[in-house]
Every structure is written in structure tokens, then in C-alpha cells.
Amino acid sequence: MKLLGLSLFAGLISALGFAPLGLWPLTILAFTVLAWLVETAPSLRSALARGWWFGVGQSVLGLNWIATAFTFQAAMPAWLGWIAVVLLSLYLAVYPAAAAGLAWRWHRANRLVLVLLLAAAWIVTEWMRGTLFTGFAWNPVGVALLPTAASWSAAWIGTYGLSGIAALLGGAIWLAFAGSAQKKASAMLITAVAALSASAWLARPAPIAGAGPQVRIVQPNIGQQNKWDPRYEQENFRRFATMSGRPGTTPRLLLWPEAATPDYLTIQPGARRRLAALIGPGDLLLLGGVELVFGADGRSTAAYNSVFTLRPDGGLGERYDKAHLVPYGEYLPMRPLLSAIGLSRLAPGNLDFLGGPGPRTIDLGRFGRAGLQVCYEMIFSGKVVDRADRPDFIFNPSNDAWFGAWGPPQHLAQARLRAVEEGLPVIRATPTGISAVIDADGRLLQSLPLGTAGVIDARLPPPEPPTLFARLGNILPFAFALLLVAAAIAVRRKTR
């Protein structure tokens, strides 16, 4: 029982490596403890239990911001948010449990084999977590390594492969202290990780030369409690209008956050004209809004969470519809049943959102080609870009206003990893922070902190030629996992 408590504690410690704390050495040390816990488990059932409690601790602390989202929905009590965090964590812990069980089942009392198998299994099970049942890819362990040189390897093996590296490093420390016979294996693992990281950095392609177009990101600091209140509609518009500034001689790409306007732009030409008055003759505005879907009787039946392109003449260009929706946030699963017992969506409104067709690239003329990913979509490694029509940058309008203090910096960190993976700059626009300009190496060039109003004026960073991950996607972390399994088999045969 004490060791199950230690498993829970180690999981809690592992979450301290996530933003906003960023204590990444603790995440690695937590995997050191996990490797020991798995190795000393007397049975498969015990190994599964220890991995499960590790996962519970990691998710409960790392996802604490979800509880804050419930405070914005008057139809549900705030305490229900913490119940949701715990219940979600109990489910998400199934994946670390599976990784621990697989490593225990096949390690055959060889500690190096256990470390290799635990890393391989973690890669696969973390991918499963981000894929099954619509997926929940928030806080992959690899994101904790973003401040380190190891993060460069995401351009080759993706975020899930980077999570495997975190497990390898933790295991290497355990091997170093497990006995003199294991120190050589520990040194070899650390050297291999260092070589992979250095190679990825040295082999990264040079950015495409030339200064990009002028962009202005608007962060109006409009909180969730005022966003949909009709009493604040004029004030909210005034903030956007003032912060967008007067048109100048240099054409600008104006970038507003997710759901920036409450108007239905497709069917309200007056709203389009009001917005078009804010932009100059050479400007273009990208903003979030809602596109309604109407039934045969003329009544609205559903909606899309969309990004609209608005021209200076008030005309609409191409539109992007969010594809990966948030369960309970943008639609209510099993609505007839759950609504009958008093549950509702966290976002206001009675219409459920529909999912769009997926990643697409929109041609913005002089401003380049934009890939669009709305809010939550940005966390899904390998699924943010149309690989058949590669963009010049990714625009990620988001509304993190209901994500508490931990959610927004975690969201930003995951957007930075997408930049590293794809070799593309990422531009984020949020109503309350953290809006940012991220270059194609994942570096944070400019940002606006949480809870502040402001603008970012910048030149769009250049893209890099496609990375290895941009070409092949999530086949690469699976190949890395297979390589680890092959190494484990070779070690086991050699020491038999």
C-alpha cells in the first residue's frame, strides 16, 4: 500500500515539469522512481496498479485547470469541476498503467531491458491516449523537455518520441544507481540521447530567407464572464477597434482570437461592414466567429466554430471550421440523456458545434499561406498541417480565458512543440493571454502575459523546409519505439 502511495506521489512530482512551473528535472526523476517501482513489482497486477497511480497523480495535478472551466457555467456547481478532473484522471491513468504492465511483463529481470521497454511502451500508449475516443493529447510527457536540448529531436521523432526520451533519461539515472554493472548502460543511454539531440539540431534546415509580412495580434483581455454578455458587446467591440489601430501605409494581417465576434458574419452584412471599417485597403483580418447551420424549416440546428477571412471591402474570403471539438465544451455527448439530468455544455448556447473536415491551408495572398488550428486542436501532434498543401505558418486563435492559471502556459508550450515538429512558425491570438509569436525552431519571440490587454506588432517569422517529422508524421515515433524494442530483444538475448 505504501508503494502505491509512492506511485501517486511520483506522478504528482512528474507533473511539476509541465508549464507553468517547468521543473523538468523532477519529471525525469519521477521516471527514475517509476522504473524502480515497476522492477520491484511482485506481479503484473502490482505493476499495473503502480503505473495507474502514477498516471492518476500526473493527471490530477497537471489538469487542475479543468476545474476552473466549470466556474463559468452557472448551470453546474463549481465543485463538479474537481470531480471531472478526478474522473478524467482515473481514465487517463489507464495508459501509464498499460506502459508499466508491458515493461514488467517482458523485461525478464533485466533492468536495461525494462528501461528500453518502458520508454517504447510509453510512446505507444501516449499516442493511444491522444487518439482513442476522440483523443486527449494534453500534456504529453515530452513537453516537459521543451526547455532542454532534447526538444530539438521532436523534429525527427515527434512529441511522442520525445516522451520516450524522458522515460529513457529517468531510467538511465535509475541504472546509474542500481549497481556498478548498470553504470555502463546508463552512460550509453545518456550518450545516445545527447547524440540524437545534437544531430537533430545540426541537421535542422536553414530558415527561408526574407522578412515576412507585417502582423498585428490583438489581445483585448476580455474575460469569459463578459464575452457573451450583451451588456458588454459595445465595450468589447471598442476594445478590438481601438487596439487594431489606424491603417497605415504598410499592409497588415490583423489577427483576432477565437470567437472574437458574437455576430454571424455570413448572414449579417452590416456586421461585416462595421469590421471592414477598421482595416486599411491593403489589410486583411482573420478572426474567430460562429457559422450557423440551418435546417429545412429555416431554423438554426447546429454551428461551426470558425475562422473567417475579412477583406477591406467587407467581403469574406475562405473560412476554416474547427475539426477537433472539445467534448462537453463544444458539444454534449449523449445530449438527450445528459441534458435530462441537468448537465449542459461548458460553453454557453444550446446548439452543438459540428466538426469541420480537418487541417487545411488558406491562401492569404501577399500575407502567405496559413494553416489554421483553433484552440484545442493545436495539441494533437502530427495532425495540425495539411501535408499535401504545406502552409507558410500556423495561425492558432484560441480562447484560454477559462483555463485557469495553468492551462494557458501549457497550451503555449504545446504550440511551441508543433513549431519544432513541423518547422513552421506559429502565431497565437487569445482574448486574455498568452498570445505569442513563435519561430520555426519553437522559440518564443514575442508574447503577451495572462490577464493583460495589448498588441503584438511583428514580422511573420520565415518557415523552414519540411522537417523529417513534417514529411512522415507519427510513423517516426512508432519507428523509434520499434527500435527500442529491438534493442531490448538484443540485450536480452546477449545476457541470456
pLDDT of residue 78: 67
Residue 147: DSSP 8-state = T
Q: What is the pLDDT of residue 268?
A: 93
Q: 157 and 191: one domain?
A: yes
Q: Please choose, from the candidates 154, 144, 225, 138, the residue with its C-alpha nearest in 3D space to the C-alpha of residue 408.
A: 138
Residue 478 and residue 462 share a domain: no
Residue 8 has pLDDT above 60, yes or no: yes
Provide the pLDDT for residue 223. 79
**Omega cis (within 30) before 20:** yes
Residue 207: φ, ψ to 5° = -60, 150
Tell me the C-alpha distance between 493 and 392, whole Å. 48
Q: Is the pLDDT of residue 490 over 90?
A: no
Q: DSSP for 466-482? A: PPHHHHHTTHHHHHHHH
Q: What pLDDT is stored for residue 101 in this prediction?
A: 96
Q: What percentage of the chain has pLDDT greater than the value 90?
A: 67
375 is catalytic: yes
Work out the angle between the directed axes of helices 2-14 and 24-39 (0-180°, nearest 10): 150
pLDDT per residue as tens digits for the range 397-441? 999 888 888 999 999 999 999 999 999 999 999 999 899 999 999
Question: From CA 441, how far away is CA 423, in angstroms rounded?
Answer: 6
- Answer yes or no: is pLDDT of 341 > 50: no
Q: What is the pLDDT of residue 74?
A: 56
Pair (323, 283) in one structural domain: yes
Same domain (yes/no): 375, 397: yes
β-pair partners for 214: 252, 459
Calculate ∠ Cα 25-29-35, nearest 5°.
150
Looking at the structure, tell me whether residues 461 and 479 fall in a common domain. no
CATH number for the domain including 224?
A: 3.60.110.10
Whether pLDDT at 481 is above 60 = yes
| Per-residue cell: 185 | 548502460
pLDDT for 174-192, tens place per residue? 888 876 667 777 777 788 7
What residue numbers bound the domain in which 486 lies?
Answer: 2-204+474-494
Average pLDDT for residues 328-333, to the nearest whole number?
A: 61
pLDDT band at residue 242 under the 50/70/90 scheme: very high
Catalytic residue among 375, 383, 421, 422: 375
Same domain for 278 and 184: no
Domains in the chain, number: 2
Q: Which of 39, 126, 227, 258 is catalytic?
A: 258
Residues 258 and 188 grouped into a single domain: no
**Which pTM does this prediction carry?**
0.92
pLDDT value, residue 320: 96
Q: Which is the catalytic residue, given 227, 291, 322, 421?
A: 322
Rounded mean pLDDT of 47-55?
97
Task: Classify strands 435-438 and 426-429 as parallel, antiparallel or unpaired.
Answer: antiparallel
| Same-domain pairing of 28 and 54 | yes
Is 322 catalytic? The answer is yes
Q: What is the reported pLDDT for 9? A: 97
* Mean pLDDT estimate for the chain: 89
Question: Do 277 and 402 belong to one domain?
Answer: yes
